[in-house]
A and B are shown apart, each in its own frame.
Chain A
């Protein structure tokens, strides 16, 4: 099956700093989503981005499908950004998503 690797695995930032999270996948995909898992376990949808670039406030994402990677940018980070960020991909005819390894982000004052 498809393999999804995320980097870095852990990241500590000072409030106000910017960061870039990366997601590499091993095969062609027709679905890619980024999620933020909060401390209570809820997965929050950030982006549906199988290709191209999107922005939503302080967050933006870019997927280069031909090179099999996606990037999530967080600008002016806040303590509420802390948590785990997952990318998840889907390919072929199925609807299911395979999750990446995750990036644990901690934003400190």
Chain B
């Protein structure tokens, strides 16, 4: 199957700082990527759809200015959590579609202190 990578796998930052998470499709091109968020023992919630060369589409209730998404190439999307606060601590997972299936990265665990 297709491979999606994420970096970093784990990050700890101080409250008020910004953190960038990278998502790459390694062996295929993805015009669309998706960013999900997962709290402990809960399901995955879609945050936004990242579109190559255009603006991201955010789900209802997700702050566009806090979660900045850039999809600059067919293999790379980035999520920047700006002015992070402890309540932003979560597991962030990206995904990309290869033909009919969605494939997921290994996730990034963000802890804001």
- Are B106 and A95 in contact, CB atoms less than 8 angstroms apart? no
Interface SS of chain B: helix, strand, loop or mixed?
Answer: strand
- Are A33 and B102 in contact, CB atoms less than 8 angstroms apart? yes
Q: Can you name the residue of chain B whose Cβ is closest to the Cβ of A90?
A: B102
- Min C-beta distance of B34 to chain A, whole Å: 6
- Are A45 and B106 in contact, CB atoms less than 8 angstroms apart? no
Kindly identify, within residues 32 to 78 of chain A, every residue whose CB is under 8 Å from any CB belonging to chain B: 33, 35, 40-43, 45, 48
- Min C-beta distance of A29 to chain B, whole Å: 13
Q: Can you name the residue of chain A whose Cβ is closest to the Cβ of B91?
A: A41
Interface size class of A (residues with CB under 8 A): 20 to 34
Our pick among A31, A40, A42 for the contact of B104 (Cβ within 8 Å) is A42
Our pick among A45, A96, A102 for the contact of B49 (Cβ within 8 Å) is A96
- Are A48 and B91 in contact, CB atoms less than 8 angstroms apart? no
Interface size class of B (residues with CB under 8 A): 20 to 34
- Are B101 and A48 in contact, CB atoms less than 8 angstroms apart? yes
Kindly identify, within residues 21 to 59 of chain B, every residue whose CB is under 8 Å from any CB belonging to chain A: 32, 34, 36, 38, 43-46, 49
Give CA–CA (A100, B44) in the complex, Å: 8
Q: Which residues of B contact A25 (CB under 8 A)?
A: none
Please tell me if A28 contacts chain B, counting CB pairs below 8 Å: no
- Are A40 and B46 in contact, CB atoms less than 8 angstroms apart? no
- Min C-beta distance of B69 to chain A, whole Å: 14
What would 7 more interface pairs be, CB under 8 Å, given A43-B93, A95-B32, A97-B95?
Answer: A33-B101, A41-B93, A86-B43, A95-B49, A98-B46, A99-B44, A100-B43
9 closest pairs, A vs B, by CB? A43-B104, A99-B44, A41-B107, A48-B101, A99-B43, A42-B106, A102-B43, A95-B97, A97-B102
